[in-house]
Amino acid sequence: MVIAGFKDLDINELVLTTTLIFLIAPAFLLLYIFIYNRRKKRHIEEKEQMRENFEAEVVKTQMEVQEQTMQTIGADLHDNIGQLLSLTSFTLGSIELDDPEKARGKINAAIDLTSRSIKEMRLLGRLLQGEQLIGMGLPDAIRQEVKWAEKSGQYQVTCLIDEELPAQNNPDKDLIIFRILQEALNNIIKHAGATQINIKLMYTGGQLTLHINDNGSGFNLNGQMPAQSGMGLYNMRKRAEIVGGRVNIESAQGEGASITIYIPYP
């Protein structure tokens, strides 16, 4: 009788345990589904936030490129085309009709100055089509920017662009990479005191690499940098991260600076 009692007790415990398992299992399943859905929702929200941040950054970059373009146009109109037209006016105003030979020489000089002014205006027209230039591809936009850096006559610029770039481009990424290049060149022009600038664009294994270095004064990465330069470097890093990339900066006081941007592409 005692043995039968123990058997009844074991059976009761087994039934109770089985019942508890059947009751608890759905609760754990519901908890798992709840946690999974929360994580999934958070992941969707994070992706949406990243998309919104990216779109906002693209708009901001477009506006900055346009602002940079207008600044370049204003400076060129004042420093270059304005001077050419002033010289043309002065040359025409100094013509003496009593001396046909000298008059002919000055007229020819005025024609040459006018031709140079027209050429410069055409270049400005191309610059005004900056967004179209980006749409045509990053290499063309970089080459155009290099031309404007060279026009000052203060810098020797070398530009090497990989011929094996992807046939399919990414206009949004191109725009951000182009703005990073502008930031780097602005820092060099304003702070570095350089005479040599080297630019290289390469593509390897699904990654676009933009390398910019100069022979300027450099800076101590562990010390204090010029405020504007530091903000420029921060903006470069931020923009690269927006498109899943990174920026590597190497510099030392008196030894120039080297900036390399790695961007997954396209």
Range of the domain at 183: 137-266
pLDDT band at 6 (very low <50, low <70, confident <90, very high): very low
- Are residues 198 and 264 part of one domain? yes
- Are residues 119 and 19 part of one domain? yes
DSSP bridge partners of 249: 259
- Are residues 213 and 150 part of one domain? yes
- Are residues 79 and 19 part of one domain? yes
User: What CATH number did the domain enclosing 196 receive?
Assistant: 3.30.565.10
Residue type, 44: I
- Are residues 222 and 185 part of one domain? yes
Task: Flag whether pLDDT at 262 surpasses 90.
Answer: yes
pLDDT band at 159 (very low <50, low <70, confident <90, very high): very high
Q: How many CB atoms lie within 10 A of CB 250?
A: 13
Q: In the listed set 93, 108, 128, which residue is the last one of a domain according to the structure? A: 128
- Are residues 188 and 154 part of one domain? yes
- Are residues 119 and 171 part of one domain? no
- Are residues 234 and 124 part of one domain? no
**Count of domains for the chain:** 2
Query: Average pLDDT in the 183-203 region?
Result: 88
**Percent of the chain clearing pLDDT 70 (strictly above):** 79
- Are residues 68 and 192 part of one domain? no
Q: In the listed set 105, 128, 151, which residue is the last one of a domain according to the structure? A: 128
- Are residues 263 and 142 part of one domain? yes
Task: Flag whether pLDDT at 74 surpasses 50.
Answer: yes
Quick check: 248 and 260 in contact, CB under 8 A? yes
Q: How far apart are CA 126 and CA 11, in angstroms?
A: 89
- Are residues 145 and 115 part of one domain? no
pLDDT band at 230 (very low <50, low <70, confident <90, very high): low
- Are residues 154 and 117 part of one domain? no
Give me the pLDDT at residue 202, please. Answer: 92
SS3 of the chain: the string is CHHHHHHHHHHHHHHHHHHHHHHHHHHHHHHHHHHHHHHHHHHHHHHHHHHHHHHHHHHHHHHHHHHHHHHHHHHHHHHHHHHHHHHHHHHHHCCCCCCHHHHHHHHHHHHHHHHHHHHHHHHHHHHHCHHHHHHHCHHHHHHHHHHHHHHCCCCEEEEEECCCCCCCCCHHHHHHHHHHHHHHHHHHHHHHCCCEEEEEEEEECCEEEEEEEECCCCCCCCCCCCHHHHHHHHHHHHHHHHCCCEEEEEECCCCCEEEEEEEECC
Task: Flag whether pLDDT at 76 surpasses 70.
Answer: no
Q: In the listed set 128, 160, 187, which residue is the last one of a domain according to the structure? A: 128
